[in-house]
Amino acid sequence: MRNKAYQLFSTLLCLLLTGCVDKTSYTYLVQHPRFLKEQGVLCETVSPQTAYCKTVLEASVYVSGLFEAAEQDPERFGERIMQVEGAVVQAKEKYEFAKAEDSKAQRSESASTADAKKKYDDLHLEMQTLLAVVGMNGPE
């Protein structure tokens, strides 16, 4: 009985956590081009003047540019992905080093650590977006 209750609780917790993803954020939209496309169609028909639809439009313009770049020169686009992946690795190393330095000095997050984290997060988002575009251009 206890095991079944644990399984039920675990399942509900997973569903709750996956349901809490903010599907209205710019970040989510650019990382999920299919969802972005659906939302673009919805915004065109329902309420194009809302703040959310403006975000959808902004994300659509960015992602469309990436699709175009990938279609025009796939090799160059692949090189861009590899460059961004390399930059992500370097940024993560710098962030981990800065975090370790803060820990050694027994201080809270320094400005340099915060900057390193932001750079890593930005590059990681770019990489995920580029890979999402490649995934959309591939076979379904």
Q: Which of 137, 7, 120, 130 is nearest to 63 (CA)?
A: 130
Show contacts of 130-134: CB within 8 Å, 24+ apart. 130/66, 130/77, 130/80, 130/81, 130/84, 131/81, 132/30, 132/31, 132/32, 132/33, 133/33, 133/63, 133/66, 133/67, 133/70, 134/70, 134/77, 134/81
pLDDT given at position 12:
39
pLDDT given at position 10:
44
Q: Is this model's pTM higher than 0.85 or not?
A: no
pLDDT tens digits along 9-62: 444 333 343 444 567 899 999 999 999 999 999 998 887 788 999 999 999 999
Place of tokens 């992946």: 85
What pLDDT band is residue 139 in, cutting at 50, 70 and 90? low
pLDDT tens digits along 116-128: 999 999 999 999 9
pLDDT given at position 1:
57
* Extents of the domains making up the chain: 22-72, 73-140
User: What is the token pair recorded at 102?
Assistant: 């803060």
pLDDT tens digits along 78-94: 999 999 999 999 999 99
What pLDDT band is residue 106 in, cutting at 50, 70 and 90? confident
